[in-house]
Structure 1
Amino acid sequence: MSNLRTSRNRLVAAAATVVLTALSLTACGGGTGVHDEGASAPTTPTANSSADAASSGAASSGASSSGSGSHSSSSKTRPATGTTRSAADTSASKAPVSADKPVTCEGSNTKTVAAPLNRPVNHMLLTVTNTGRKTCFLYGYPAVRFGEAQSVPPVIEDSQPQAVVTLAPGESGYASVNLSATDGSASNGHTVKSLTVYFHGRSGNESVGAGAHPSLPAKGVYVDDSLKVTYWQQSMDDAINW
């Protein structure tokens, strides 16, 4: 009988131990639960990071779209500019070129100045300047008429240049006039106060265009039957050598 009680007491003690162990395990399980909740806390920044990444992606996408929009707008502008330039170039290539065609030098497109020279003595220099917008040709020699003369003086044949004198706008050509004999040997000497200069055409047989009326000194100039002129020259030095 005593042994039976002892066995029961042991059985009850064992059962109590089992219950206590179970409770202890339950408590440990609860602790593990608290640890799990603490461990799950880092998942929140991860979620936020994902959201930030999504926002960043959206912003990048927006920026890319904006950049694409700017590029598209620029692309649309450039072809238009290129088209305009092409049209301008085409128009320029079709511009008329007839304005460059040379003409004959004469009184309406030139200015003539007459200046007596100290050396050579009894000489006068004629300077013709192209005042027009086109290149002009000075053909032959000046047909000069002093005062009321009925004819023009002859030309010095040896003074003929190798090429026709060509004047671009603003350029000048020259001729000299031998007014009188230096030794007084010529006849019919007299003083004149007016001068008209006529211009030859390409054929050289007639005057063309308007004549020029350069001023003479107030006292006039002295001429005689030895009066003669040079051909038009490209340089002043060539003109006064005769």
Structure 2
Amino acid sequence: MRIATRSVSRATASSLVAVAALALLGVQAGTATAATTATCTTANTKLTVTEVSRPVNHLLLKATNTGTQTCYAYYAPVLRAGADAQAPVAWVEDSKPQAVVTLKPGQSAYAGIGTYSPDGEGGGTEKTLGVFFTDRDAGGTGKESTLNLPNGGTYFNSAAAVTYWQDNAADALTW
């Protein structure tokens, strides 16, 4: 009789531990709570690009969460400088933050864009900037947003590069 009591007690204890763990994870009565975060995309953010005075030859890309839930700005934006761009603008690997930038509704993420350097090759003045967001696997999230570049066009050459998303403009413009 004593053995049966122990197995029932252990089973009951295991069940209580499982229920407590699920409650901590937000699962109640077998149903999961709704997701409260998403990947930032062109559908849930507003994008703007502006010219900055310092550093020279730089633009600032700003993504503001216009959605109703928190979103993650993964990696760096994938940029297409001009309608006929053959390759995306390179990412500045040294700008990778320690954590994914998380945007609550109304908050913004920033990416600095170095448009050219004297040691770059080729180049030309581009009128538009195509922007794609990335997902947690560094893949594209779908629809491109096309922005008009400041001053009717901006010069880009092969040295152009964009930072990873940052939580403030100063960090984005450090690179």
TM-score (normalised: structure 1): 0.57
Q: Does 1:191 align with 2:111?
A: no
Q: Deviations over 1:35-59 (max 9, x none)?
A: xxxxxxxxxxxxxxxxxxxxxxxxx
The residue that corresponds to 1:227 in the other structure is 160
Matches within 5 A, 1:57-206: 97-98=33-34, 101-147=36-82, 148-181=84-117, 184-204=118-138, 206=139
1:75 corresponding residue in structure 2: none
Q: How many residues align?
A: 145
Local SS of the residue matching 1:237: helix
Greater relative CO (CA pairs within 8 A, separation 6+): 2
List per-residue Cα deviations over 1:88-123 (Å, max 9, x = no partner). xxxxxx9x951x520000101000000111110000
Q: Residue deviations 1:193-222, cap 9 Å, x none?
A: 011100111011x20132222221242000
Q: Which of 136, 144, 151 is equivalent to 1:211? A: 144
What amino acid is the match of 1:239? A
* TM-score (ref. length: structure 2): 0.78
State how far apart, in whole Å, the 2-side matches of 1:185 and 1:166 are. 35
The alignment partner of 2:144 has SS state of strand
- Paired residues of 1:108 and 1:209 also in contact (CA < 8 A): no
Per-residue CA distance 1:120-150 (angstroms, 9 max, x = gap): 0000000000000010000000100011101
Q: Distance in 1 between matches of 2:104 and 2:87?
A: 31
CA distance in 2, matches of 1:122, 1:177: 8
1:125 and 1:177 in contact (8 A); partners too: yes
Offset from partner CA, 1:10-66 (integer Å, 9 cap, x none)? xxxxxxxxxxxxxxxxxxxxxxxxxxxxxxxxxxxxxxxxxxxxxxxxxxxxxxxxx
The one-letter code matched in structure 1 to 2:127 is: K
- The runs of 4+ residues in structure 1 deviating greater than 4 Å are none
Structure ranking higher in helix proportion? 1
Answer with 1 or 2: which has the greater Rg: 1
In percent, how many aligned pairs have the same letter? 41
